[in-house]
Amino acid sequence: MATHATTAGRLEVICGPMFAGKTSELIRRARLHAAAGNRVTAIAPARDTRYGPARIASHTGDFLEAAVIGDAAELLRACADSQAVVIDEAHFFGDGLTTAIRQLLATGTLVIIAGIERNHRGEPFPPFPALLCEADEVVKLSSKCARCGGPAIHSQRLFKSDEAIVVGGADSYEARCRLCFNPNEPESLC
């Protein structure tokens, strides 16, 4: 006979372009749950070393200590006894993250993820198409367009690369509005 969690899991998704405050909001929510006495595990992708090892960090310098995993298959082991799990840069884990998150939700775990839901071409960034449908709550943030100052929903890559994921900051990406976003711009820079 299957056993069921005594409480329902919950998935909260924080998404938007780079420089929108996604990680800051993730850290804020993690601290609220920790202050309420919940066992919270923060998860960071191994490939993101911009702000040092074993941490989730915002561009403003705020951070949380985190377990570092290389891929989604490691998630369940990293947060075995957690009541809440926060995952930054969820797009670094791809579609494999969806299955692991569904398993956490089935155990009654609160899962909060943050990441970019559109790639540098403006297309859906896995695992967000599936996780946005699965979410109990979606917070979609915008930034300020680096060109015109309007509301930005895109992350404009400033260099040419065929790689789906390239870790970078303000030197490599800009937040752009719909009018200023041009996914073919990096090709014109070469």
Residues belonging to the chain: 190
Question: Is 182 within a domain?
Answer: no
The token duo for 59 is 């561009």
| Domain hosting residue 74, numbered range | 10-144
pLDDT digits (tens, 9 = 90+) for 22-67: 999 999 999 999 999 999 999 999 887 776 778 888 878 888 999 9
Does residue 64 fall inside a structural domain? yes
Residue 159 lies in a domain: no
**Inside any domain, residue 20:** yes
Ramachandran class of 19: left when φ > 0, alpha when ψ lies in -120 to 50, beta otherwise: left
Average pLDDT value for residue range 87-95 = 93
Catalytic residues: 89
Does any domain span residue 173?
Answer: no
Using the predicted structure, report yes or no on whether residue 1 has a pLDDT greater than 50: no
Predicted pLDDT of residue 2: 46
Kindly tell me the burial class for residue 35, based on how many C-beta atoms sit within 10 Å of its own C-beta (0-12, 13-18, 19 or more).
exposed
Q: Residue 110 belongs to a domain with what CATH number?
A: 3.40.50.300
Residue 161 is predicted with a pLDDT of: 65
Total count of domains within the chain: 1
Does a structural domain hold residue 54?
yes
Residue 81 reports pLDDT greater than 60? yes
Handedness of CA 155, 59, 99, 31 (dihedral sign): negative
The pLDDT value given to residue 85: 98
Helices (H), the chain: 22-35, 75-78, 96-106, 128-134, 185-189
Once rounded to an integer, what is the mean pLDDT over residues 104-120?
96
pLDDT score recorded for residue 60: 82
Q: Are 44 and 136 in contact (CB under 8 A)?
A: no
Lowest mean pLDDT among 38-52, 100-114, 159-173: 159-173
Predicted pLDDT of residue 74: 93
Q: Is residue 91 part of a domain?
A: yes
In this prediction, residues 103-124 reach a mean pLDDT of 95
Average pLDDT for 103-111: 96
**Does the residue 185 lie in any domain?**
no
Against a cut of 0.85, is the pTM above it?
yes
